[in-house]
A and B are shown apart, each in its own frame.
Chain A
Amino acid sequence: MLIPVGYVVATAIGLGWHELAPLVFRPRVGELLANTALLLVLGVPATIVLGVGGAWLVERTDLPARRFFAVLLVAPLAIPAFVSSYGWASAIPSINGLWGGVLVSTLAYSPLVYLPALATIRGLDPALEESARSLGLGPWAVFARVILPQLRLAILGGGLIVAMHLLAEYGAFAFIRFDTFTTAIVVAYQSTFAGSSAASLGVVLATLCLVLLVMEAGARGRARYARVGTGSPHPPSLARLGRAAPATVVALACLGIASTVVPLVNVVRWLGASDASAFAEIPAAAAQTALLAGGGALGAILVALPVAWLAARYPGRVSRALEAPYYLASSLPAIIVALALVTVTLRFVPAMYQTVVTVMAAYVVIFLPRALVPLRAGIAQVPESLEEAARSLGTSPLVARLRVTAPLLLPAVAAGAALVALGAANELTATLLLAPTGTRTLATQFWSAASAIDYPAAAPYAMLLVLSSIPAVALMFSHARGGRVR
């Protein structure tokens, strides 16, 4: 798990200041830094406004067709960002640069704020809002002074995840010719392999990630351990939109069209134009995707189980210290994880270079938190008294875990595995760098066709990526609505 972190540190030390400084302090890096910073400054607040606003509208107002919009707002999650970008770029080729990047990424990533905000709002006790109303606050004041402060953790957490995705995204920005650190690292890698140019950009990118992590941790402060109530004792009273209702519906409909309808319609349009040869390689690609993603999911569960167990059963400084490197490594962009694994395998175990095992290891590192979080919650929900009861009935500790804890943990394991597998199936950068020559996954096949502007050939893969994402997205959505992982 610590390989990527070690790689960044070792690179920085290995290059030394004298070699690193000219690579870092050059106009190109300044340009990338400006691009990336602008992307964060514009994109993160936009996703927060869309995500929080959407969650409030569907949960706490009398918006018409609320259930429909609740689903529509999460739908972009089923469309990988690079597919969404492909839909837009193939429809309007002039979309490019910063504004294109902000548009595409905001539309694609707003569900990452919407889901935690939705879960939090559903967990809020309506009695709080009613008390505020009885104290003379109007609906907007209730939103600003009662709901918004309680959404702080959801906003910070969701915002951080969006920022990490913006830093790590490659495909979506490459389509619309918007340069960020990640796209520049891939370009540098393709021209000079694992040279010092790619490595130094990686050091800057990793530093950016670290800065964001520290900022988010600082903003959380003590609120980290605050717990949201378990559920609503009675249905909340809904704020009336009144005359604003039609405009709100139109705005949400436009958002849905931009984030979901435009990409999907274009995928379907190109699908109609693709000939039979485009479908020939699909079974092989699907099988390889399933193998790699399944292996990654299995690996992530196996690595996450002991860590989640320690964190849930023995909470304290030691288990937090054990967890920290996992989260740190996983918050590094996939491109850095990939560069690290390329460098380490080539230098120390050349036999592992570009093997299936290395790809799966990268998936484990990149997507581990997706397994860790549901597992930890799942383990915390199995009371220790159940294991004690089993032991008092004559079963050994190990058998007690197998017969009692394991079956109860199954839903959490399934949820974690599904989320990791979804991420792995849609993963592009690490797969491109690490997979054995000749590997064809749905994502890489899509990418090689689409980046060659062969849009019809890419369409079947795009469609499959979307379809295979739907179950996992449905799972996340039902968790958010249920308020917690069960």
Chain B
Amino acid sequence: MILSVAGVSKSFGRSLVLDDISLDVPQGSRTAIVGASGSGKSTLLRLVAGFERPDRGRILLGDRALATPSSSVPAHRRGIGYVAQDGALFPHLTVAANIAFGLPRGTGARAARVREVMQLATLDPALADRFPHELSGGQQQRVALARALAPRPGVILLDEPFSALDTGLRDQTRRAVIDALERSGTTAVLVTHDQDEALSFGHGIGVMVDGRLAQAGEPAAVFDAPATAEIAGFLGAAVLLPARASEGVAQCVLGRVRIRHDRSGGAAAGVAMLRPAQLRLDADAAERNAVVHAVRSVGAVAEVSLLAGSDEPAVVELTVPLHELGSLGPGSRVGLRIDGGVVLYPGPTAAVARAETVSGDAPQPVGA
């Protein structure tokens, strides 16, 4: 059963929160919706869950219409699980009673199903008789997931379920949740503002910007070829360099580079985007095209900020293992090379990529 959202719009008062959203989530897959706060991603989830009704558009699960402009299946008849940001565990019920909440009463299979989903969510069976306030944050979220999984819903929706957890616990809980979803084969939609979380969640990713679904696809493909420079910067550190383009090659301050995706519509000039991990620093290169501007050591690595090119130098930041840094320091001339191609966008753009944090007396960042 495919979950499909078709042309859905939603306003609260005068503000348009969702603008013509269309998205398909295949059965058994995991899709993450990522966006800044206020981009409408939680509202999308609440529409699918049935807590709100769309103004326009349709939501279907298989061939069953969940919401159309004229009708809406109430939340409790949709068979769609929902895990809230804080877990929303019922404080007056034990862990076992919370998990059994959505299971039909009076059947002997309840206890067995509770044990089954607790195991699925890697919850210690000894926790069954505890109350929610006696659990850690990570345990609470895993109970919330187990509770949502117990009635075998067609789809599970997760609304920023890890954001309230601290860093170490977050990774561990995230892995446990993805594992449980994988083993149960449940279709899942996750909403998050964390790019890494979205990129690592599963099979699909959708990027929301200002109430629109700006791009959707497989995580690797979207990360590799973001539709706009803004999305590129939002999904991860990006280096943006002004470039002239001809015949699939971009000419920028770091030389000539292959254009692997042209998003500029064939323009002759634009902005080339690459990831800092593509940059190779070579102290002994024949052509030294950059000057070290500042070095900050952070544990085992060093964050190096360089001025690339001579006429209009661009600020480029990258991370280098400390042992590869050698004797490099401010003022050292080095060679900087780009591994793999770049993505070309129309430009110059006002978008400030995250790689271009400038400090001190450095010249203006490119494109600013």
Q: A residues engaging B (CB < 8 A)?
A: 383, 385-386, 388-397, 400, 403-404, 407-408
Identify the 3 closest CB pairs spanning chains A and B, nearest first.
A393-B102, A392-B82, A391-B75
Across-interface contacts of B183 in A (CB, < 8 A): none
CB of B131 within 8 Å of the partner chain: no
> Least Cβ distance of A410 to chain B in Å?
9
Known: A396-B76, A404-B90, A408-B91. A388 touches B102 (CB 8 A): no
29 pairs of residues in contact across A and B, judged by CB atoms under 8 Å: A383-B86, A385-B86, A385-B88, A388-B75, A388-B84, A389-B82, A389-B84, A389-B89, A389-B90, A389-B147, A392-B75, A392-B76, A392-B78, A392-B80, A392-B82, A392-B157, A393-B81, A393-B102, A393-B147, A393-B148, A393-B150, A394-B76, A394-B151, A395-B102, A400-B76, A403-B101, A407-B92, A408-B90, A408-B91
**B138 partner residues in chain A, CB cutoff 8 A:** none
Separation in Å of the B187 CB from the closest CB of chain A? 14
Q: How far is the CA of A152 from the CA of B351 in the complex (A)?
A: 50
Q: Are A393 and B90 in contact (CB under 8 A)?
A: no
Known: A383-B88, A385-B86, A386-B90. A396 touches B81 (CB 8 A): no
Q: Which residues of B contact A (CB under 8 A)?
A: 49-51, 74-82, 84-86, 88-92, 101-102, 144, 147-148, 150-151, 153, 157
Q: Flag if B92 contacts A392 (CB, 8 Å).
A: no
Partner of A386, one of B79, B81, B88, B153: B88
A392 and B81 contact, CB distance less than 8 A:
yes
Distance in angstroms between the alpha carbons of A390 and B84 in the assembled complex: 11
Residue among A383, A386, A389, A404 with max Cβ neighbours from chain B (10 Å): A389
- Cα–Cα distance between A383 and B90 once the two chains are bound (Å): 10
Closest chain-A Cβ to B51's Cβ sits at a distance in Å of: 5
A28 to B194, CA, bound (A): 76
Residue of A nearest to B82 (CB): A392
Q: How far does the alpha carbon of A392 sit from the alpha carbon of B50 in the complex, in Å?
A: 8
Q: Is the CB of A395 within 8 A of B92?
A: no
Q: How far is the CA of A401 from the CA of B76 in the complex (A)?
A: 13
Contact B76 A388 (CB under 8 A): no
Q: What residues on B are CB-neighbors of A390 within 8 Å?
A: 76, 90, 101
Distance, CA A320 to CA B49, complexed state (A):
31
Query: In angstroms, how far is the closest chain B Cβ from the Cβ of A382?
Result: 9
B-side contacts of A393, CB under 8 Å: 76, 81, 101-102, 147-148, 150-151
B102 and A394 form a contact (CB under 8 A): yes
Most buried by B among A388, A389, A392, A408: A392
Q: How far is the CB of B240 from chain A (nearest CB, A)?
A: 40
> A388 and B92: CB pair below 8 A?
no
Partner of A391, one of B50, B86, B91, B144: B50
A400 to B75, CA, bound (A): 11
Bound Cα distance from A389 to B82, whole angstroms: 6
Alpha-carbon distance A393/B147, docked complex (angstroms): 8
Q: Which residues of A contact B150 (CB under 8 A)?
A: 393
Report the Cα distance A404→B147, complex, angstroms: 15
When distances are taken between beta carbons in the complex, the residues of chain B under 8 Å from A392 are 49-50, 75-76, 78, 80-82, 102, 148, 153, 157
Query: DSSP majority for the B interface?
Result: loop
Residue of A nearest to B100 (CB): A393
In this complex, the member of B82, B86, B88 whose beta carbon has the largest number of chain A beta carbons within 10 angstroms is B88
**Closest Cβ of chain B: how far from A403's Cβ, in Å?**
8
Find chain B residues with CB under 8 A from A391 CB: 50-51, 74-76
Q: Which residues of B contact A403 (CB under 8 A)?
A: 101
Determine the distance from Cα of A391 to Cα of B79 in the docked complex, in whole angstroms: 10
How far is A395 from B103 in the complex, measured between Cα atoms in Å? 10
Q: Which residue on A lies nearest to B84, using beta carbons?
A: A385
Inside 8 A of B92's CB, which chain A residues have their CB?
A: 407-408
A92 to B79, CA, bound (A): 75
Nearest opposing residue in chain A for B81, CB measure: A392
Please name the residue on chain B nearest to A389 by beta carbon: B88
Residues of A contacting B75 with CB < 8 Å?
Answer: 388, 391-392
Q: Given the complex, which residues of B lie within 8 Å of A397, measured CB to CB? A: 74, 76
Nearest A-chain residue to B49, judged by Cβ: A392
Contact of B79 among A383, A389, A394, A407 (CB under 8 A): A394
Contact B82 A388 (CB under 8 A): yes
Q: Which residues of B contact A388 (CB under 8 A)?
A: 49, 51, 75, 82, 84, 88
* Closest beta carbon of chain B to A392's beta carbon, Å: 4
Residues in A whose Cβ lies below 8 Å from that of B89: 389
Whole-angstrom CA separation of A335 from B144 in the bound complex: 54
Chain A contacts for B91, CB-based, 8 A = 408
CA distance A394 to B79 in the complex (A): 7
CA distance A343 to B200 in the complex (A): 74
B127 to chain A, nearest CB (A): 19
| Contact status B76-A395, CB under 8 Å | yes
Other A-B pairs, 6, CB within 8 Å; known A388-B75, A393-B150: A383-B86, A391-B75, A392-B78, A392-B157, A393-B151, A396-B74
How close is B141's CB to chain A, nearest CB, in angstroms?
13
Complex Cα gap A388–B147 (Å): 13
Which B residues lie within 8 Å of A407 (CB)? 92
Report A401 CB to chain B, min CB distance, Å.
12
In whole angstroms, what is the CA distance A300 to B339 when docked? 75
- Say whether A394 contacts B88, CB under 8 Å: no
Chain B nearest CB from A2 CB (Å) reads 33
B78, B85, B102 interface centre (most CB from chain A within 10 Å): B102
Q: Closest chain B residue to A400 by CB distance? A: B76
Interfacial chain A residues near B90, Cβ < 8 Å: 386, 389-390, 404, 408
Complex formed: what's the CA distance from A404 to B89 in Å? Answer: 10
- CA A395 – CA B76 in complex, angstroms? 5
CA distance A407 to B79 in the complex (A): 25
Cβ–Cβ < 8 Å partners of A385 in chain B:
84-86, 88
How long is the Cα–Cα vector from A390 to B76 in the complex, in angstroms?
8
**Nearest CB in chain A: distance from B164 CB, A:** 12
- Shortest distance between the CB of B302 and any CB in chain A (Å): 39
Chain A residue with minimal CB distance to B147? A393
CA distance A397 to B76 in the complex (A): 8
- B190: min CB distance to chain A, Å: 15
B90 CB to closest chain A CB (Å) equals: 6
Instruction: Assess the A394–B77 pair: CB atoms within 8 A.
Output: yes
Distance in angstroms between the alpha carbons of A396 and B50 in the assembled complex: 12
With a 10 A CB-CB cut-off, give which of A386, A391, A395, A407 has the most chain B CB atoms: A391
The CA of A403 and the CA of B90, in the complex, are separated in Å by 10
Most chain A beta-carbon neighbours within 10 Å: one of B85, B90, B148, B150: B90
Nearest CB of chain B from residue A379's CB, rounded to whole Å: 15
Q: Closest approach, in angstroms, between the C-beta of A393 and any C-beta of chain B?
A: 3
B88 to chain A, nearest CB (A): 4
Greatest chain A CB density within 10 A among B49, B76, B79, B85 is at B76
Q: What is the distance, in angstroms, from A40's C-beta to the closest C-beta of chain B?
A: 44
* Contact residues in B for A394 (Cβ distance below 8 Å): 76-77, 79, 102, 151
The smallest beta-carbon distance between A52 and chain B, in angstroms, is 34
Q: Output the least CB separation between A407 and chain B (Å).
A: 5
Q: Which B residue's beta carbon lies closest to that of A381?
A: B91
Alpha-carbon gap, A397 to B90, bound state (A): 15
CA distance A286 to B144 in the complex (A): 49
The residues of A that contact B86 with a CB separation of less than 8 Å are 383, 385
* Whole-angstrom CA separation of A474 from B278 in the bound complex: 70
